[in-house]
Amino acid sequence: MLPYIVLGLFAGAIYALASLGVVLTYRTTGFFNFAYGGEAMFLAYVFWQLRDRWHLSQWISIPLLLLVIAPILGLILEGVFRTMASRSADVQIVVALGTLAFFTSFVPIVFGGTPHPLQSIFSPTASFTVSGTIVTANQAGTIVLVVAAGALLFALLRWSRFGTATRAVVDNRDLAGLIGVNANRVGQVAWIIATMFAALAGVLLSVQENLVTYVLPFLVLYSFAPAILGRLTNLPLAFAGAIALGVINSVLQKYGSAGFVAKLEGSIPYLALFVLLVAYGKRLVEVRSSVRLITGAHVIGDNTKRYALVGGALAVIGGTVLPQTLGASTVGDLAQAMAYAVVALTVVVLTGWTGQISLAQMSFAGIGAVVAAHIAGTHGGLFPLAILVAVLISVPVSLLIGIPSLRLSGLFLALATMAFALLMDNLVFSSNSIGGGLTGLNLTAAKIGPLRFESAQSQFYLCGVALIVTAFGALWLRQGPVGRRLQMVRDAPDAAATLGASLTLTKLAVFAACAAVASIGGALLAITQGTIAPVNFDSSHSLALLLAVVLGGRSLISGAVFAGGVQLVQLLPLNANVHTYLPLGIAVSVIMVAREPEGLPRVSLQQLRYCSAVLYRRRMRELLRLRPTTARTAHAVGSNV
Amino acid sequence: MSESLLAARGLTIRFGGLVALNEVDLDVAPSGITGLIGPNGAGKTTLFNVITGLLQPTAGDVRYDGRDIVRWSPQRRGRAGIARTFQRLDLFVGMSVRDNLRASWEASVPGGIFGRHARDGAALVDAMIERLGLEDVADRRAGTLPTGIGRMVELGRALCTRPRLLLLDEPSSGLDGTETARFRDLLVEITGTAQHDRPAPAVLLVEHDVRLVMEVCEQITVLDFGQQIARGTPQEVRHDPAVIAAYLGDSGAELTGARSTELTGARSTELTGARSTT
Ligand SMILES: Nc1ncnc2c1ncn2[C@@H]1O[C@H](COP(=O)(O)OP(=O)(O)O)[C@@H](O)[C@H]1O
Ligand SMILES: [Mg+2]
Q: What pLDDT shows up at residue B263?
A: 45
Residue A623: pLDDT band by 50, 70, 90 thresholds? low
Residue A562 has pLDDT above 80, yes or no: yes
Whether B52 and B174 map to the same domain: the answer is yes
Is residue B87 included in any domain, yes or no? no
Residue A296: pLDDT band by 50, 70, 90 thresholds? very low
Beta-carbon separation of B107 and A500 below 8 A:
yes
Helix A410-423, helix A539-553: angle, nearest 10: 140
Of A300, A480, A496, the CB nearest to B107: A496
Q: Does A298 reach chain B within 8 Å, measured CB to CB?
A: yes
pTM for this prediction = 0.83
Give per-residue burial for B80-104: e unless 16+ CB within 10 Å, then b.
bbbbbbbeebbbbbbbbbbbbbbbb
Whether B71 and B119 map to the same domain: the answer is no
The distance of A161 to chain B (nearest Cα, Å) reads 25
Residue A192 has pLDDT above 90, yes or no: yes
Is residue B156 included in any domain, yes or no? no
CA A374 to each of CA A323, A340, A385: distance values in angstroms, whole numbers, following the listed order: 29, 20, 11
Q: Count of domains in chain B?
A: 2
Please tell me the total number of residues recorded for chain A in this structure.
Answer: 641
CA A120 to each of CA A15, A38, A48, A135, A150: distance values in angstroms, whole numbers, following the listed order: 17, 20, 11, 14, 20
Residue B260 has pLDDT above 50, yes or no: no
Whether B120 and B233 map to the same domain: the answer is no
Residues 50-109 in B contacting A (C-alpha not used; CB under 8 Å): 52-54, 73-79, 82-84, 86, 90-96, 99, 102-104, 106-108
On whether the CB atoms of residues A381 and A527 are closer than 8 A, the answer is no
CA B141 to each of CA A476, A554, B96: distance values in angstroms, whole numbers, following the listed order: 19, 20, 4
Pairing relation of β-strands A127-130 and B82-84?
unpaired
Q: Does A300 reach chain B within 8 Å, measured CB to CB?
A: yes
Is residue B108 included in any domain, yes or no? yes
CA of B39, nearest ligand number: 1
pLDDT tens digits along B169-195: 999 888 888 888 888 999 998 888 776
Q: What pLDDT shows up at residue A615?
A: 65
Question: Relative to the CA of B170, which ligand 1 atom is closest?
Answer: 21
Which fold, A2-117+132-283?
ABC transporter involved in vitamin B12 uptake, BtuC (1.10.3470)
Q: What pLDDT shows up at residue A622?
A: 59
Whether B49 and B177 map to the same domain: the answer is yes
Q: For residue B63, what are the β-bridge partners?
A: B7, B68
What is the rounded CA–CA span in Å between residue B116 and residue A358? Answer: 32
On whether the CB atoms of residues B203 and B218 are closer than 8 A, the answer is no
> Which element (helix H / strand E) includes B222?
strand B219-224
Q: Number of C-alpha atoms within 13 angstroms, CB side, residue A242?
A: 34
Best residue for ligand 1 mutational test, from B45, B55, B85 (most atoms within 8 Å of Cβ): B45
Which value, to the nearest 10 degrees, does the dihedral of the CA atoms of residues A516, A517, A521, A524 take?
Answer: 70
On whether the CB atoms of residues A562 and A548 are closer than 8 A, the answer is yes
What is the rounded CA–CA span in Å between residue A590 and residue A596? Answer: 10
R_g of chain B computed on alpha carbons: 19
Q: State the ipTM, two decimals.
A: 0.87
Of B90, B99, B114, the CB nearest to A492: B90
Residues 489-518 in A contacting B (C-alpha not used; CB under 8 Å): 490-492, 494-502
Residue A300 has pLDDT above 80, yes or no: no
The distance of B75 to chain A (nearest Cα, Å) reads 4
The CATH number linked to B43 is 3.40.50.300
Is the CB of B221 inside a 6 Å radius of any atom of ligand 1?
A: no
Whether B122 and B191 map to the same domain: the answer is no
What is the rounded CA–CA span in Å between residue A471 and residue B114? Answer: 20
User: Pick from A313, A418, A294, A341: which is nearest to B91 by CA?
Assistant: A294
pLDDT tens digits along A508-542: 999 999 999 999 999 999 989 888 888 889 899 99
Is residue B140 included in any domain, yes or no? yes
Please tell me the total number of residues recorded for chain B in this structure.
Answer: 278
Is the CB of B40 inside a 6 Å radius of any atom of ligand 1?
A: yes
What DSSP line would sit under A453-486, residue for residue?
A: E-SHHHHHHHHHHHHHHHHHHHHHHHHSHHHHHH
Q: Give strand ranges (E) for B16-152.
A: 18-28, 33-37, 59-64, 67-68, 82-84
Is the CB of B20 inside a 6 Å radius of any atom of ligand 1?
A: yes
Pairing relation of β-strands B202-206 and B33-37?
parallel
Which residues of chain A lie closer than 8 angstroms to B52, CB-CB?
Answer: 498
Domain spans in chain A, listed from the N-terminal domain onward: 2-117+132-283, 304-537
Residues 337-396 in A contacting B (C-alpha not used; CB under 8 Å): none
Mutate to test the interface with B, among A498, A507, A510 (most CBs of B within 10 A): A498
Q: Does A285 reach chain B within 8 Å, measured CB to CB?
A: no
Question: Relative to the CA of B46, which ligand 1 atom is closest?
Answer: 17
Of A297, A300, A498, the CB nearest to B84: A498
Q: How far is the CA of B86 from the centre of ligand 2 (A)?
A: 9
Q: What pLDDT shows up at residue A421?
A: 94
How buried is A630 (Cβ within 10 angstroms: 0-12 exposed, 13-18 middle, 19+ buried)?
exposed
Residues 6+ apart with CB under 8 A from A136: A120, A126, A127
Whether B175 and B64 map to the same domain: the answer is yes
Q: Does B15 reach chain A within 8 Å, measured CB to CB?
A: no
Whether B67 and B170 map to the same domain: the answer is yes
Q: What pLDDT shows up at residue B192?
A: 84
Whether B68 and B168 map to the same domain: the answer is yes
Q: What pLDDT shows up at residue B22?
A: 92
Task: Please give the backbone phi and psi of residue A290, each rounded to the nearest 5 degrees, phi first.
Answer: -75, -10
H-assigned helices in B132-209: 147-159, 177-192
Whether B97 and B23 map to the same domain: the answer is no
> Which element (helix H / strand E) includes A446?
strand A446-448
Is residue B42 included in any domain, yes or no? yes
Residue B273: pLDDT band by 50, 70, 90 thresholds? very low
Pairing relation of β-strands B33-37 and A446-448?
unpaired
Question: Relative to the CA of B15, which ligand 1 atom is closest?
Answer: 4
Domain extent, residue B10, equals 1-81+162-278
What is the rounded CA–CA span in Å between residue A162 and residue A147? Answer: 20
pLDDT tens digits along B70-121: 999 999 999 999 999 999 999 999 889 999 999 999 888 876 666 556 677 8
Which residues of chain A lie closer than 8 angstroms to B86, CB-CB?
Answer: 494-495
pLDDT tens digits along A309-346: 777 788 778 877 887 888 888 899 999 999 999 999 99
DSSP 8-state assignment for residue B195? B
The distance of B137 to chain A (nearest Cα, Å) reads 15
The average pLDDT across A559-570 equals 90
pLDDT tens digits along B209-218: 888 888 899 9
